[in-house]
Structures are given as structure tokens and as C-alpha cells.
Structure 1
Amino acid sequence: MIIPLPDLLNNTERTKIMSLVEGAAFEDGKKTAGWHARMVKNNEQMCDCPQLKEINQILMQALQRNELFNIATHPHVVRPFLISRCKDGGYYGTHVDNSLMFGERVSRTDISMTVFLTAPETYEGGELVTENMARERRFKLPAGAAVCYPSTTLHRVEPVTSGERIVACTWVQSRVRSAEQREILFDMDSARRSLFNREGKSREFDLLTKAHANLLRRWAEL
């Protein structure tokens, strides 16, 4: 299940983040890549610094208030964001994200997330491409928008041939490990909310809410 988040950041938040990015140092992105991903990674990442901590605070607050993100992912652990920059032909070739990530705590990666910080018309190339057996999907979203996609998928970032592409990336360990179960819960939650908006609290709404709650109770990992 791939979930775009159209307005994760408001203009004030995005402007603040970009001002913090402008004053920060960057380093070779290979530093955080797995041994095989280093072979295809050609980007820069923001160094660990006070600006990065402030950016993380802004992004985490945005996630906490975003209803779509929370009902789609059931977040248990959200990793600290990385700020990635591609320019002068920079890219990130086809790879799959590490299944486990380390640091202050170990977490499983169920869902990958990219937050677009630069406007798409300011750079050429740089599309995020996700692969599955049926087709590829390409994303080059407006500044402040984000996309969540399964960490199990192969994906890549196309070369940036002019301008620069700056994004924030993170990974989520969900309380519901199974992507299929998360999709069922998301569909049920979406249906019951739509029903409530159309008809108010009804017998049908109560039954859907009961089923959703009991499935989440069965599948959630605490």
C-alpha cells in the first residue's frame, strides 16, 4: 500500500526547514547505506548537528497531527529523519532498505517515507521510483508533500540533472507488522469514517467500528 500525504508540512514549516538546511554541512550519503546499497548511492546527507535535531522536531510534530499517516501506518517507532540532497547528476540506484536499523534502539523497517522539501519545478529528474511485479510508480511531489511505501519494495531515485533535490527520509516500524493487515484496517477505517460523515453514528457505523477495533486488537504488537 502506497500512501501519498499531500500537505504534511505547511508553508511556515517548510520554509523553516529549508532555512535550517541552508546553514548546515553535508557529507557523503554512503555513510548510512548498507554494504550493497553503497555501490549505487551517489547523494549527500546532512551531518548530525543542532539544525538536524530542530528539523526532526518539526517533522515529528507534523506526523503526530497527520491523521492519514497515523491510520495508514499505526506507527510504533519512527526513526530520526535524514536529510538527503541530490545535485550534479546525483542519484540513488535500485535498492531495498535495510530490514533492521540500529542506533539508540533497534527497530524493524516496515514503511519507508520520503518528504519532498524542494519544489519539483526547481530541479530536473530526481523522481522516486518504486517497483513491483506489475509496474513502476514514479513520484515527484510538491514541496511539503510526502509518500509512504512498503520498505520491502525495490526503489530508486533517478539522477538529478539540474537544480537540487532535497528530501527528508525516515522509516517506520508499525504496530501491525503485516502490510496486508494494515491495508485491511486502513480500508475499514476509511469506510467507517466516510459512513459517519454521510450518515452520522448509525448501527452500521458501530458494527464497522467494532470489527475494526477487534481486528486491531488481534493484530497489534505492543
Structure 2
Amino acid sequence: MIPFQTLPDALTPEDCDRIIAAVQASAMKDAGLVRGQTAHHLRRAEIAWLDDIPEGAWVMDRMVGLIAQANRTAFNFDLTDFGESAQVARYGAEREGHFGWHSDIGAGTWAAKRKLTVVVQLSDPADYDGGALELWPDSNVATAPRQRGLATVFPSFELHRVTPVTRGTRWSLTLWAHGPAFR
């Protein structure tokens, strides 16, 4: 199994602009809260869920086929659904936006069912510094490409992080494909 799969043209630059504009018109929430406690040492970002934004329904339609193809090509996991809304995150330099090392699988109704994580680069890489998506699938850390509209697909149990943004703003779209527990 390869550590991650990239889908270079998952979204067009126009699609990325459309998602960012829809989210900016909504009320984003502080993503630094973990189980009701502030945990900005772990994550400093703002998020919005696309289910809460009427203009965002088309995104899942676009992504489902791409994720199925990536799964067939690279992972061959038993996937059953997309039970969670897609999440858009804003990591701004004014707050040193980041997300420390973590995996997306764990306790809880949805996290326990996550099999694949998909992160789509919405920002133009020239618009920010830092903010690298790093994956730690084995003894080496790999950095995901930063091409706008590119999707990085990886197993949800894989450790990953977003390094601190030092200039500008990094926007990303994250969604999870679910399935029965790993055995």
C-alpha cells in the first residue's frame, strides 16, 4: 500500500474560489476547541461545515467518484458511506494557524468509522508560507504537494499535521470516507 494518493485536478481554481467565497459568507467557528476545552496548542484554525452552507452541496457530488477511484487504485478499503459533512478550514498567519500531529480515526460516532481522509488544497500556494500538510506514514515524513485543487488521499489512521502558517492564509477542504472498523 502506498502512503498517500494525489489527485491533481480534483477541483478547478474556480471551484476553489467558489468554496472559499461560500465559507467566507458564513460564520466560521474556532477549531481549537477539543471536547469543550481550548486546545490552541494542538490546533489553531477556523472551520465551517459544508452541510451548513446551501451553496456547498455540489462538492460531495464532485468528490465521491474521485475518492472511489483513489481507493480502487491505492488502498482497496471497504468503504460504505460519507457520514460526515466536508469541512473547510482556514489557517491564518495572524494566529499562526496550524494543526499538530494527529490521526483522524478514534473514539466517537464518526471518527471510529473513518477509513480514508481527503484533503484538498483550496489556496494558491503563492498566497501563504508555511502551512505544509505533512504525513508520517512510516519512519519518514512526507510533504503533500501544494498545487491548487489537488486532493491528497490517505488512510485516516496515518499521522499528519499542518505546519504553522507564517504569511497569508491557507484554505483546505477535508472529508472522510467511512467503512467498517479495521480488522
| Bucket of the pairwise TM-score, normalised by the shorter protein | 0.7 to 0.9
For residue 68 of structure 1, report the CA deviation from its aligned partner.
2.8
* Contact kept in structure 2, 1:8 and 1:144, CA below 8 Å: yes
Q: Which of 129, 134, 150 pairs up with 1:124?
A: 129
For the aligned residues, what is the CA RMSD? 2.8
Q: Which of 17, 20, 45 pairs up with 2:19?
A: 17
Change (3 A) 1:110 1:65: closer
Higher strand share: 2
For residue 112 of structure 1, report the CA deviation from its aligned partner.
1.3
Q: Report the TM-score, using the length of structure 1 for normalisation.
A: 0.67
| 1:146 correspondence with 2:148 | no
Change (3 A) 1:47 1:132: closer
Any unmatched runs of 5+ in structure 2? none
Q: Report the TM-score, using the length of structure 2 for normalisation.
A: 0.80
| 1:82 correspondence with 2:87 | yes
Higher helix share: 1
Change (3 A) 1:133 1:11: closer
Count of paired positions:
173
Question: Mean Cα displacement is larger for which, 157-166 or 92-101?
Answer: 92-101
Q: Identity percentage over the alignment?
A: 22
The correspondence of residues 67-216 of structure 1 with structure 2, limited to 5 A, is 68-69=69-70, 71-72=72-73, 75-78=79-82, 79-87=84-92, 88=94, 89-102=96-109, 108-174=113-179, 177=182
Q: Bigger relative contact order, structure 1 or 2, given CA contacts below 8 A and separation 6+?
A: 2
Greater Rg by CA: 1
Deviations 1:39-64 (A, max 9, x none): 5111111267742x432x22211123
CA distance in 2: counterparts of 1:164 and 1:46, whole angstroms? 15
CA distance in 2: counterparts of 1:44 and 1:110, whole angstroms? 24
CA distance in 2: counterparts of 1:170 and 1:101, whole angstroms? 16
For residue 164 of structure 1, report the CA deviation from its aligned partner.
0.3
* Contact kept in structure 1, 2:113 and 2:180, CA below 8 Å: no
